[in-house]
A and B are shown apart, each in its own frame.
Chain A
Amino acid sequence: QQQVKQSPQSLIVQKGGISIINCAYENTAFDYFPWYQQFPGKGPALLIAIRPDVSEKKEGRFTISFNKSAKQFSLHIMDSQPGDSATYFCAASSQTGANNLFFGTGTRLTVIP
Chain B
Amino acid sequence: NAGVMQNPRHLVRRRGQEARLRCSPMKGHSHVYWYRQLPEEGLKFMVYLQKENIIDESGMPKERFSAEFPKEGPSILRIQQVVRGDSAAYFCASSTGELYEQYFGPGTRLTVT
Q: Interface stretch among A54-62, A69-77, A78-86, A100-108?
A: A100-108
Q: Is the interface of A mostly helix, strand, loop or mixed?
A: loop
A103, B45: Cα distance in complex, Å = 9
Beta-carbon contacts under 8 Å, A14-55 to B: 32, 34, 36, 42-46, 49, 51
Contact A98 B55 (CB under 8 A): yes
Count, chain A residues at interface, CB 8 A: 24
Question: Total number of A-B contacts with CB less than 8 angstroms?
Answer: 61
Is B56 among interface residues, defined by CB-CB distance under 8 A?
yes
Contacts of B69 in A (CB 8 A): none
Is A93 among interface residues, defined by CB-CB distance under 8 A?
yes
- Expressed in whole angstroms, the minimum distance between the Cβ of A103 and any Cβ of chain B is 4
Count, chain B residues at interface, CB 8 A: 26
Q: Interface stretch among B13-21, B72-80, B98-106?
A: B98-106
Contact A100 B59 (CB under 8 A): yes
Known: A98-B56, A100-B45, A103-B42. A46 touches B103 (CB 8 A): yes
With A43-B4, A49-B101, A101-B45 already in contact, 4 other A-B pairs whose C-beta atoms are closer than 8 Å: A43-B104, A89-B43, A98-B58, A105-B41
